[in-house]
Every structure is written in C-alpha cells, then in structure tokens.
C-alpha cells in the first residue's frame, strides 16, 4: 500500500514537472491587407524544411482579418524555433508567386526578418524558448 502511494506521488511529480517545463509561443500577425482566405502559421525546430508549409512541427490555419490574428502554440519544449506565417488568400495551400518567383501573397517570419532573393535562413529568424516561459512574437506584413 505504501509502495503504491509512493509510486503515485513520484508519477504526479514527474508529470507536473514535465508540463511545467514546457512553454507557449504567442504569435500575432498584423498588417493583413484583406479578409480573404487564411493565415497559415508554422512552427519549425530546425533548418531542414524551413520555411515550407507542411514541413513544420506544428501548424494552424486561422481566418484572415485585417484587424490582425493571433495563435498560441501550446506545450512547446525548450529549444530553438522559428515561425513562418503566410496569408493564403485563395486557400490553395501554397504561397503564390508571379512569373519571376516573387510572392504575390503576404508572408512573414519571426523576428520580422526577410531574405533577399529568397526566404531568410532558419538561423536568422530563430529564437530561444526557455522552460516555463511565454514567448510573444509579432509579425508585421
């Protein structure tokens, strides 16, 4: 009986500490030019696949609003991350581009850094998440 109580206490302690170690990333997107389509949020934890939507570790679609949109990534483990956001106006699942490959839909990255002649690197837009902290990011289109 005593052994079972001790096991239960140890289990509760382990679960509590595991969840207490995780964090939240709150992402706000402003400067959205119209209410068409969705804003695609993508959370990445490595450079491989960044910033391709569909290769993120967590993602979310939110209806676009010119007043801005927000999404919170919950239960994020400590580490290095980057966020990409795309205004997918026609909801085709892609960042549309013109004949020259220049995006015709809005997009943005954490730290509000944009690349020249292509997207910025994961390293340039990444940020650290510490245990139990809330990280707030604003992406301005």
* pLDDT tens readout for residues 77-105: 999 999 999 999 999 999 999 999 899 99
d(CA 118, CA 113): 12
pLDDT at 15: 45
C-alpha 73/C-alpha 69 separation (Å) is 13
What domains are there in the chain, each with its CATH number?
23-140 (2.60.40)
The pTM of this model reads 0.82
Residue 14 pLDDT grade (very low, low, confident, very high; cuts 50, 70, 90): very low
For residue 9, count other CB atoms closer than 10 A to its CB: 10
Q: Which helix (H) or strand (E) holds 82?
A: strand 79-88
Q: What is the pLDDT of residues 19-60, one digit of tens each?
A: 458 999 999 999 999 999 999 999 999 999 999 989 999 999
């Amino acid at each position: 009986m005593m052994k079972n109580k001790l096991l239960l206490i140890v289990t509760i302690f382990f679960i509590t500490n595991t969840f207490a170690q995780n964090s939240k990333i709150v992402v706000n997107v402003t400067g959205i030019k119209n209410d068409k389509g969705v804003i695609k949020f993508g959370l990445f934890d490595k450079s491989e696949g960044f910033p391709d939507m569909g290769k993120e570790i967590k993602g979310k679609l939110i209806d676009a609003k010119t007043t801005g949109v927000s999404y919170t990534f919950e239960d994020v483990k400590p580490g290095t991350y980057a966020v990409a956001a795309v205004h997918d106006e026609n909801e085709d699942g892609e960042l549309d581009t013109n004949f020259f490959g220049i995006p015709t839909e809005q997009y943005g990255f954490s730290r509000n850094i944009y690349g020249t002649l292509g997207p910025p690197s994961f390293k340039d837009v990444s940020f650290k998440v510490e245990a139990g902290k809330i990280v707030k990011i604003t992406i301005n289109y």
